Amino acid sequence: MDRALSLAATPGVPLGPNPRVGCVLLSADGEVVGEGYHRGAGTPHAEVDALAAAGAAASGATAVVTLEPCDHTGRTGPCTQALLAAGVRRVVHAMSDPNPLAAGGAATLRAAGVEVSGGLAEAEARALNRAWLHGLTHARPFVTWKLAATLDGRSAAADGTSRWVSGPESRLDTHRLRAEADTMLVGTSTILVDDPLLTVRDAHGAPLPHQPLRAVMGLRDLPADARVLQPVPGAPDTLHLRTRDVHGALAALYDAGRRHVFCEGGPTLAAALWEADVVDEVVCYTAPMLLGAGRSAVADLGVTTIADAVRPEVVDVTRVGDDVRWTLRPRR
């Protein structure tokens, strides 16, 4: 199962409305005879990919797969029927499929005489597909709010300069996290003030082959020469969401197949996300720096007394270079 999970997490697979799935086929004596993974909407599912690699050796094999085989016809046929046609005798899956359109595969396989067991490494499989699972439950994308701030909570100095609050190690780590999302979201103010490119880049500053959607939320027009509007290989066209309604913007992104929004907007957008109660994760880089004045990391949240303070749960604290990275989640 560890190998199947590793296949499911293969870098470069387009993120979006489909889950990430890996599959390993084992012979009766435990030898790997085929393996595969899902490469995005419209491509063969992990089981079919592994069956193609195994050929005739799939007969009598055990399929180890990170998600219960699907039992419906979408862009591709049911994986249950492909497994039965290949003569697979046993299926071990990590998590049951919560999608009502695709669920039921385990029951279909059992009814056909295939031995089926589930729950192996379920927590790991769920973690791998947390954004997809969140979308099924909430019908909106998973939202990560990322910020970098000084010890006194400033994201920019009094003169507006903000490069660089965090250190080079934190900036590289941010690109790693960007690559795990399918959408980058900022507000129009960030575009007008900072003119970011909003791409995922490597340690040398070169863009990676697969890029998230760049989305800008707000009513103001964007300058024609804004860097966020410039074509980038591997990146879809930038989407301008002409609204201040957070729920409406996230609904539009969800309808467009987006499941994980990584927000690096300024304090106004950050406050709007909190007010709308849609922040699902916070990643904060705290730099060993004091400014004493300047732009706050988040605008007014309506908190007037310490008893009403927003207190997210600390999930992880890690030193990154000279900075400290906090990973938190809201208490709901």
Mind telling me the catalytic residues?
47
Q: Is the peptide bond before 164 cis (omega within 30 degrees of 0)?
A: yes
Which of 205, 263, 273, 256 lies closest to 15, judged by CA? 256
